[in-house]
Structure formats: structure tokens, C-alpha cells
């Protein structure tokens, strides 16, 4: 039985897709008598089957080396397109993360969207969503991964625009789709260019391909920059980071997946592309620069938000910025651990936030307070999730940071200072949210708030337990996937000596600063001009959207108006001129129709004579000029 499951591991992503197809009669309204819940149960059942299948295989291959399974898709002449899947502890660890969190999120969605009239449509979209993410986890083919990223962009668009009757939702879905398309198009160009240099398009072959090919430095830089453009948009990194903030208009269960797994999927592809993206120092430095700008900028943006989901979404971009830096430094192991710890903790935080939003029917934290005694499970989930992100011992992010600065990696002081900065402002943001939402006096909208229903509480508590159980994952990570060799333990001794205490102090400092901050409706926006200026600067995302309006959007709008004018007056004018000339000539020639054959014959002779005369006249001029030059 186990051999059968092992040989057919590639069908795991199809379970969710099959569930989505089966639920179409409910999501399309063909079946109404039973209500929408059977569609939810079918998708949850298929997710359970996929999770169990993946768990069995994960236990079997934990100590085995990676294997690749290649399926020939299209063979024409010299063209051989293949779909490759990887059977390895890393790929199945990513698969288990996808199916596990998806299972908890779907159970959570049963309670969160219980009264939504289109519950069946939501679960059908979630099945398609999960199938693309599971396929990305197992894919070893760059071509297949690109197709799955395109499907992921489509499913993101559909889930963000789920409540399509609201104008803001439609705008958010459009912006998310177009922003991700910008990166996907650049990634497609890089894939086409990469295919012209190498025989295969498999991630496992990239390391061999890099060592066997000497590319021009300019070509290597352009190829690396194009390859990282796709993950930049998928991971909401600067300057394509605004879509994740706007995508919070969609249902919160989809937001849980988006902020934990979807962004991790883009970073997962980036990690697999590491041999090529770091081939040129320019592209490697670009990864680090993008990560630094995003980590600093979004950490500052988060502390100025009064919408609970937007504050958490900016935090997502900040931690993914650290992943970009780790990949740029060729420290793949740290990038994997950052993704793993962040995904679990952020999913737990968004579950807690969704529970608060459901019972208060509100997302504005300035109108909340006093929920600790009324929602203890939700409050404890928020505390554990926040501790998992800040890096509080002994949770996973703490050991990830400790491993990063353990002396096995070539790190500088600037990296330690950056991680301390992100840790401090993450502590400020999460502590501020906790104090305002759960502590203090109850407000009008939180005075009668009950605990969330058990369908939401059970997934929250389960994920809280998972967060605590995975504490030792960074310590027991058995694989060395980074291309660089571990340093001797005595190197970077000064950083190693002070890194852990400084990280602990940075988190404590952030908590202490946030303990003095309060947000209430009366002074949500300060009356002090200087404070208000910086508050608006951060709250409106450094006015990046306005910058887009006066640059990119204005340029595209002007170009479209110019091309419209060309089309209307030049192209259409030329076509209309030809049509008018045709009409005029046909109207003039109709008067020459006499019905006499002699007249037609004379017309033909005159026309041929004029044609011959013009031809002979031209040749005679050439002969005359030639004779004159001789004489």
C-alpha cells in the first residue's frame, strides 16, 4: 500500500481540484435543496485525504535523498516539454504546510462564513486555490511552476473579489491581479530566455547548468533581475507591495492563506531559482536591496495602521523581505526556516483577527477594547502567534534567528541591526494591537462580544498547539541546502556573542515602547502638525499609490490617449481615404459604360499604349544619360 501511495504522490494536488469540480453543482446554484454545506464538506474531505497521503509519504522519505520524476508532455521535433515533480523532504514539508493550514482554514471558514449565501462558491475557489499551492510545492519544473503561478494569480483575483457587489472589493481584486501580472510577465520572459540557453527547465538542473555555462555578465544580470520580478510581485515586495494591503477586502479565511502560504509560495520559487538569481552580483544585490527597503518600509507602515488586517499584512511583507535578504546572501536554509516559522505564526494571528472581526463586525482597532475576558481563546491565540513572530524563546522564530547568527553563516553587523529593527517594530505593532484590542475598557462594539463559535475556536487552538510543537524545528533541521560552506565556529565571534542578547533586547524594547502607545477614536489622528505628517506618511504607505498615479498611471494614460488619437485620425483616416477614393473612382467610371465594344477596345489600347510609353520613356532616359556620359 505504501509503495502505491509513494509511486502516485503526484496526484495529491488533484484531490483538491477534484473536490472543487465536484462542488460545482452547489456553487453554480444547480443544487439548492441541500444548502451549500455539502460543498464545504466535500472539499474538507478531499483536503484530509491529501493531508493523510502526504503525511504517509513524508514519513517514508524523511531521510532519503531527493528524487525527480519526469513526465513528457509534448515532443515535437527537437522540442521536448516535460513536467517534473520532486520527491524530497523539502517539497513534502512544503506540501504538508499547505494542506495542513488549508485544512484548518477550511474548518475555520465553516464558522466564519456560516451565513454567507455563496459558501459553496467560496469552497470551490478554495479547492482550486489549494490545488495550485500543492502543485507548486511538488513541482520541479520551471514551466509547470509558472503555469501554477498564473493559476494562483487567477485564484487570488477570484477570492479577493469574492464579494463582487462592493466597489472597493472589485478595485482591490483588479489591482492585485494587475500587480501580480507585472511580475509574471517578466518571469515569463526570463523563462523563455533561460530555455534558449539550457536543455531543461527543471529546478534541480539549475545548479549543474550554472556550473557548465559561462554567461555574459550583462546577460546574467538581466536574466537574474527578470527571474526575481515574479517573486517580488507574489511576495508583495517593494515596489509591488500595495496589492497585499488592498487584498484584505476579501474574506478573512482567504486572507489567512494569502498572508501565510501564498506569499510563501512566491518565495519558495525564488529559493529554488537561487542558483540563477545569485549568478550575477547585480541580481544578488538587487534581492538584498529590495528586501532591506521592504523590511524597513513596511515595518514602519504597520505601526500607523488602525485596520487590524492591514497592520498584519504589512508585517507579512516585512518578514518576506528578510527571506529575500537570506536568498541574496545564498543562505537558503535560513530562508526556508523563516518561511516555515512565519507561515504558521501569521496564520494564527489572522485567525485571531478574523475571530475579533466576526464578533464585533468591525476592523477598526480604535473602536475596540476589553476583549481579553470575553474572548480568551482568541486572545491566547494572538499572544502565541505574536510571540512566534517576535522571536520569543523558545518559539521557532527565536531559534531561527539564533541559528542565523550562530557563526555558521557569513553575516555582518548591518544584517543584525536590520533584524533587530524588524523585530523591534514587529513587537511594537503586535503589542499595540494586543493592548488596544484585548486590554483596556470595553468599547461600544466590544461590550457584548462573545467568544467565537467552536468551528473557529478549534482550528485556532489546534494551530496554537502546532506553533508550540514546531518550536524545535529550526534546531532539528537536518538538511544543508545552501550552496555556501559553513564557516568555522570561531568566525564572526563578536556578532555571535552579542546577537542573541541583542535580539531579545530588541523584542523587549518594542513591547515596552508599545505599552505606552494607545489608539482611540478621539485621537486616532494627531492634531500636532509634525506628528500628523509622519502619521499620514506611514498610514498612506509613503504615498506610493499617489506616486504611481503621477508616474506609471499617467504615462500609460497619456500613451493610450495618443494611440487612440493615432487610431482614430491616422489609421482610420487612411482607411476612409482609400474608401472615398474607391467610391469616387467607381462613380466616375460608371459614366464610361456605353455598351459598345469598339469603345472598350479603344480604351484598352490607349491604356496599354500609355503604360508602354511610360516604361519606354524611362528606359530611353537611362540610355540617353548613359550615352551623354560616354560622349
Q: According to DSSP H, which parts of 470-528 are helical?
A: 493-514
- Residues 208 and 121: beta-carbon distance below 8 Å: no
Q: CA-based diameter of the chain, in Å?
A: 115
pLDDT digits (tens, 9 = 90+) for 468-489: 887 766 666 777 777 877 766 5
DSSP for 567-601, written as a single string: IIIIIHHHHHHHHHHHHHHHHHHGGG--S-HHHHH
What is the Cα–Cα distance from 574 to 420, expressed in whole angstroms? 65
pLDDT at residue 631 greater than cutoff 60:
no
What are the cell numbers at 294? 521592504
* HEC letters along 84-103: EEEECHHHHHHHHHHHHHHH
In the block, cell 525527480 appears at 68
pLDDT at residue 490 greater than cutoff 60:
no
pLDDT at residue 292 greater than cutoff 90:
yes
Mean pLDDT of 389-396: 82
Residue 467 has a pLDDT of: 87
Give the length of the chain.
631
CB neighbour class for 446 (10 Å; exposed up to 12, middle 13-18, buried from 19): buried
What is the Cα–Cα distance from 357 to 452, expressed in whole angstroms? 10
What is the Cα–Cα distance from 432 to 522, expressed in whole angstroms? 17
Residue 198 has a pLDDT of: 61
Q: State in Å, rounded, how far the first CA of the chain is from the last one.
A: 102
pLDDT digits (tens, 9 = 90+) for 342-362: 999 999 999 999 999 988 888
What are the cell numbers at 143? 514551466
What is the Cα–Cα distance from 356 to 307, expressed in whole angstroms? 12
Residue 82 sits at φ, ψ, to 5 deg, of: -120, 155
* HEC letters along 323-368: HHHHHHCCCHHHHHHHHHHHHHHHHHHHHHHHHHHHHHCCCEHHHC
CB neighbour class for 460 (10 Å; exposed up to 12, middle 13-18, buried from 19): buried
**pTM of the predicted protein model:** 0.86
SS3 42: helix
What is the Cα–Cα distance from 92 to 137, expressed in whole angstroms? 7
Q: How far is CA 249 from CA 42, 312, 344, 367, 459, in A?
A: 26, 13, 22, 19, 22
Which of 315-319, 371-375, 597-601: highest mean pLDDT? 315-319
Residue 380 has a pLDDT of: 92
pLDDT digits (tens, 9 = 90+) for 579-623: 887 777 766 666 666 666 767 777 778 878 877 777 776 665 655
Task: Give, for 28, the enclosing helix (H) or strand (E).
Answer: none
Amino acid at each position: 500500500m505504501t509503495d502505491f501511495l509513494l509511486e502516485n504522490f503526484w496526484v495529491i494536488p488533484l484531490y483538491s481540484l477534484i473536490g472543487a469540480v465536484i462542488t460545482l453543482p452547489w456553487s453554480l446554484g444547480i443544487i439548492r435543496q441541500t444548502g451549500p454545506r455539502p460543498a464545504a464538506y466535500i472539499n474538507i474531505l478531499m483536503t484530509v485525504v491529501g493531508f493523510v497521503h502526504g503525511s504517509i509519504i513524508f514519513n517514508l522519505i524523511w531521510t532519503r535523498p531527493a528524487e525527480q520524476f519526469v513526465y513528457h508532455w509534448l515532443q515535437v521535433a527537437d522540442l521536448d516539454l516535460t513536467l517534473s515533480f520532486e520527491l524530497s523532504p523539502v517539497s513534502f514539508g512544503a506540501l504538508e504546510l499547505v494542506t495542513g493550514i488549508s485544512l484548518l482554514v477550511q474548518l475555520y471558514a465553516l464558522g466564519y462564513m456560516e451565513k454567507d449565501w455563496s459558501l459553496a462558491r467560496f469552497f470551490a475557489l478554495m479547492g482550486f486555490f489549494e490545488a495550485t499551492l500543492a502543485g507548486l510545492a511538488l513541482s520541479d519544473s520551471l514551466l509547470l511552476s509558472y503555469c501554477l503561478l498564473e493559476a494562483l494569480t487567477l485564484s487570488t483575483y477570484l477570492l479577493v473579489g469574492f464579494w463582487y457587489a462592493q466597489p472597493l472589493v472589485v478595485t482591490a481584486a483588479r489591482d492585485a491581479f494587475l500587480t501580480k501580472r507585472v511580475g509574471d510577465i517578466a518571469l515569463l520572459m526570463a523563462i523563455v530566455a533561460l530555455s534558449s540557453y539550457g536543455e531543461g527547465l527543471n529546478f534541480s538542473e539549475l545548479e549543474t547548468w550554472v556550473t557548465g555555462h559561462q554567461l555574459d555578465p550583462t546577460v546574467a544580470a538581466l536574466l537574474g533581475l527578470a527571474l526575481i520580478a515574479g517573486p517580488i510581485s507574489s511576495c508583495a515586495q517593494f515596489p509591488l507591495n500595495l496589492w497585499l494591503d488592498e487584498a484584505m477586502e476579501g474574506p478573512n479565511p482567504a486572507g489567512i492563506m494569502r498572508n501565510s502560504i501564498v506569499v510563501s509560495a512566491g518565495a519558495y520559487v525564488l529559493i529554488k531559482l537561487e542558483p540563477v538569481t545569485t549568478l550575477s552580483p547585480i541580481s544578488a544585490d538587487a534581492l538584498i536591496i529590495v528586501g532591506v527597503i521592504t523590511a524597513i518600509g513596511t515595518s514602519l507602515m504597520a505601526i500607523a495602521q488602525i485596520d487590524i488586517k492591514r497592520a498584519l499584512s504589512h508585517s507579512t511583507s516585512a518578514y518576506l523581505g528578510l527571506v529575500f535578504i537570506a536568498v541574496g546572501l545564498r543562505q537558503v536554509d535560513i530562508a526556508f526556516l523563516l518561511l516555515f516559522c512565519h507561515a504558521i505564526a501569521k496564520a494564527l494571528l489572522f485567525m485571531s483577527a478574523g475571530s475579533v472581526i466576526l464578533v464585533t463586525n468591525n476592523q477598526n482597532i480604535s473602536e475596540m477594547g476589553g476583549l481579553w475576558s470575553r474572548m480568551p481563546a482568541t486572545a491566547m491565540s494572538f499572544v502565541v502567534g505574536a510571540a512566534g513572530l517576535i522571536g520569543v524563546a523558545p518559539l521557532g522564530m527565536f531559534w531561527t534567528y539564533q541559528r542565523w547568527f550562530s557563526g555558521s553563516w557569513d553575516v555582518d553587523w548591518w544584517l543584525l541591526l536590520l533584524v533587530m529593527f524588524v523585530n523591534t517594530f514587529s513587537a511594537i505593532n503586535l503589542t499595540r494591537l494586543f493592548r488596544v484590542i484585548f486590554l483596556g475598557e470595553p468599547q461600544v462594539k466590544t461590550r457584548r462580544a462573545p467568544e467565537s463559535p467552536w468551528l473557529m475556536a478549534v482550528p485556532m487552538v489546534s494551530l496554537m498547539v502546532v506553533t508550540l510543537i514546531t518550536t524545535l524545528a529550526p534546531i532539528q533541521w537536518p538538511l544543508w541546502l545552501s550552496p555556501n560552506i559553513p564557516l568555522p565556529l570561531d568566525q564572526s565571534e563578536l556578532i555571535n556573542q552579542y546577537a542573541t542578547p541583542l535580539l531579545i533586547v530588541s523584542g523587549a524594547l518594542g513591547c515596552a515602547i508599545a505599552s505606552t502607545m494607545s489608539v482611540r477614536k478621539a485621537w486616532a489622528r494627531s492634531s500636532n502638525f509634525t506628528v500628523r505628517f509622519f502619521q499620514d506618511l506611514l498610514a498612506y504607505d509613503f504615498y506610493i499609490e499617489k506616486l504611481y498615479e503621477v508616474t506609471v498611471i499617467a504615462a500609460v494614460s497619456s500613451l493610450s490617449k495618443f494611440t487612440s488619437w493615432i487610431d482614430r485620425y491616422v489609421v482610420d483616416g487612411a482607411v476612409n481615404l482609400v474608401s472615398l477614393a474607391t467610391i469616387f473612382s467607381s462613380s466616375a467610371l460608371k459614366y464610361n459604360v456605353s455598351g459598345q465594344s469598339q469603345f472598350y477596345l479603344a480604351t484598352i489600347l490607349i491604356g496599354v499604349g500609355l503604360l508602354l510609353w511610360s516604361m519606354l520613356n524611362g528606359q530611353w532616359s537611362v540610355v540617353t544619360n548613359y550615352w551623354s556620359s560616354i560622349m
